[in-house]
Structure 1
């Protein structure tokens, strides 16, 4: 039955009202994000190295912009959350920077100039092959009869290849590494570098692989010195009390972190009050690097919510690609979530997977099965003889590069 003129008008009016409401909601969100950004960077102190890092990044970006080369900012490693201004204690996460360091190598192989913003002492491109705890660099070497240090025969071919790649990147000035430590360092550095990348236009790519903390301690609530575990300092300074006045059980005894059987039960607890880190990720699209392509990551531990959370991040921050990965399978599979496109799973074939001590291979495919109807699990098999193990980043980066090419073509047509 055809709609009546009245219902048609009502429908059009409703659509227009919804559109206006949606626009107002977007404007309100943008204003809130802008206020949060301004407030954060006004209230927190810039890192000491920011000015020097800014100069290095500006020179690096301008050089490659002049050549029309694609430049990618790769963020890597975890961010610490200090509990004191003179930091002794801090909150950290598990990230060693494997995803970022490995991705940077494949971006360099694809012809990008790479600005590598990484957690200090986390894995670096090329040296990552020899700096991991399971691959001690000294195990690859031996002392020859003439006293020279040489590579062991079984590792020499790979070491020469990695060394040549590293030297090539250095000689062409294609790799700039800049360290950060805290969540505050990271946010200041990210904002400055993203703004510096604006002259690159669509040739700029932001690949946000760092594991960024969602919470922090605001500076006004952060203590200056090390948080004390007991009141032993007060007793040692005298404060007018004589030892003869001490009643057993009233005070905590001095605690040196090694006493496992205290005379007095310890009841002091450390309660940490954290604030959420303001959400600036949408600002990358709106103002920091408006023409560049932005790739962010979503890590989850629950396969039931992985795809949903990646889709939510895409809609909330308006990035061009969100790469979802499950903690237990992150080295074997990821999901690409993009606007107006079907989710694409990138997987290392079973017979090319590298063993991961912290991975659970039976979990591969579970997240996809939870999110998609008709999913069929991969066939299982053994590593084929002579076929090398495959790093998933070798599959991720070409796919990202293809999307970046499409992004560049789209922007240039506008």
Structure 2
């Protein structure tokens, strides 16, 4: 039975959840997305197939109701889109909840390239469009995988934009996955905003950078004030407070534990912890594990996220997953001991890599090809434990 403090924390979380969803408007497409997800889940549940919800990309924080300005983060959705492909290869049906216009499974191979997509193509005989010879083999392979996932109805893509969009759809899909029991998997790779502007404090129209729109202020007065405020291009501290944009944000209520307690209580839940300070990475991942009681927290550093991650799970030693030595590129210097350093033994296996020791460029293999099989194995054990198997 839960203790007094635990019950108090739970009731507080429940109240925060209720208030958030009562006070913020649902996205216009919520009913449509919910219906699509329900049909998708029911179809694959009837087939006995595992279903994973992969969240991907960053959430925006609008500053106006008719949004012109918003706060965003750097996430392009690489981790989520790549992971979705490997889940599909492993046999999962994938609901891909992604930031609109972020990377998508399969098309990511070309939409995120430094070259324009059209640079991969040329005009063939009779006005046909033909892939360039050097890209043809890979493009055909990607196209076949995409067509297979589409034709077998194994991939459902649902977009979001704002933090509120994301939370509404996440809650709806997680609740729809409850009948899946332990065979459902939630892989929360989206970069979710920690702060937002409550609707009662959000202005209706675009925030003005000057008072020129005020009919009570003359154009001459506005120009004089601007020239005075920004003289010598020194906007601080000479700029009056009235001309600064002060953004007052509230913390987004922490709903991650609610996934365990109410939204999807039997499914396996995987969340991510991104940090920039290697000294606190494992500690913060362990803290998240304790606080939200998920089944796995995957910790990664901004500077080395494509080279290594750490699995933090209850009752298990921390497990580092790294791109092996033989799949790493040579450094520009050609110094052999700088190649594949992540695969070496010793103390380095217990702490994050030093990004200065890594080779130039990106790994030759995608680390998600190592992450997803490890997650699948943990999910298999989760299902066995839930069914009382050994």
TM-score bucket (shorter structure): 0.7 to 0.9
Which residue matches 2:196?
216
Are 1:325 and 2:300 an aligned pair? yes
For 2:324 and 2:248, locate their aligned partners in 1 and report how far apart those are by CA, in whole Å. 44
SS at match of 1:413: coil
Work out whether residues 304 and 371 of structure 1, in 8 Å CA contact, stay in contact via their aligned partners in 2.
no
Which residue matches 1:152?
132
Q: Deviations over 1:23-66 (max 9, x none)?
A: 22211111111111001001110000101000000000010011
Q: Deviations over 1:138-163 (max 9, x none)?
A: 12111124321101111111111110
Which of 161, 165, 171 is equivalent to 2:151? 171
Which residue matches 2:184?
204
Which of 268, 274, 279 is equivalent to 1:293? 268
Are 1:251 and 2:231 an aligned pair? no
Q: CA deviation at 1:351?
A: 3.8
For 2:168 and 2:35, locate their aligned partners in 1 and report how far apart those are by CA, in whole Å. 14
Which residue matches 1:342?
317
Q: CA deviation at 1:136?
A: 2.6
Which residue matches 1:310?
285
Are 1:75 and 2:55 an aligned pair? yes
For 1:179 and 1:26, locate their aligned partners in 2 and report how far apart those are by CA, in whole Å. 35
Which of 135, 138, 141 is equivalent to 1:161? 141
Which residue matches 2:21?
41
For 1:221 and 1:362, locate their aligned partners in 2 and report how far apart those are by CA, in whole Å. 51
For 1:76 and 1:88, locate their aligned partners in 2 and report how far apart those are by CA, in whole Å. 23
Work out whether residues 295 and 313 of structure 2, in 8 Å CA contact, stay in contact via their aligned partners in 1.
yes
For 1:363 and 1:190, locate their aligned partners in 2 and report how far apart those are by CA, in whole Å. 39
Q: CA deviation at 1:353?
A: 3.6
SS at match of 1:146: helix
Task: Return 5+ residue gaps in structure 2 as ranges.
Answer: 331-337
SS at match of 1:299: strand
SS at match of 2:172: helix
Q: CA RMSD in A?
A: 3.3
Which of 271, 275, 278 is equivalent to 2:246? 271
SS at match of 1:279: coil
CA change 1:408–1:182 in 2 (3 A) is same
Which residue matches 1:3?
none
Work out whether residues 329 and 359 of structure 2, in 8 Å CA contact, stay in contact via their aligned partners in 1.
no
For 1:347 and 1:80, locate their aligned partners in 2 and report how far apart those are by CA, in whole Å. 31
Q: TM-score, normalised by structure 2?
A: 0.88
Which residue matches 1:99?
79
Q: Deviations over 1:293-323 (max 9, x none)?
A: 0000000000000000000000000000000
Work out whether residues 328 and 359 of structure 2, in 8 Å CA contact, stay in contact via their aligned partners in 1.
no
Rg larger in 1 or in 2?
1
Which residue matches 2:31?
51
Q: TM-score, normalised by structure 1?
A: 0.83
Which residue matches 2:9?
29
The residue correspondences of 1:346-365 to structure 2 (distance < 5 A) are: 346-353=321-328
For 1:38 and 1:395, locate their aligned partners in 2 and report how far apart those are by CA, in whole Å. 38
The residue correspondences of 1:125-140 to structure 2 (distance < 5 A) are: 125-140=105-120
CA change 1:248–1:77 in 2 (3 A) is closer
For 1:247 and 1:167, locate their aligned partners in 2 and report how far apart those are by CA, in whole Å. 62
| Length, aligned pairs only | 374
Q: CA deviation at 1:377?
A: 9.0
CA change 1:135–1:345 in 2 (3 A) is farther
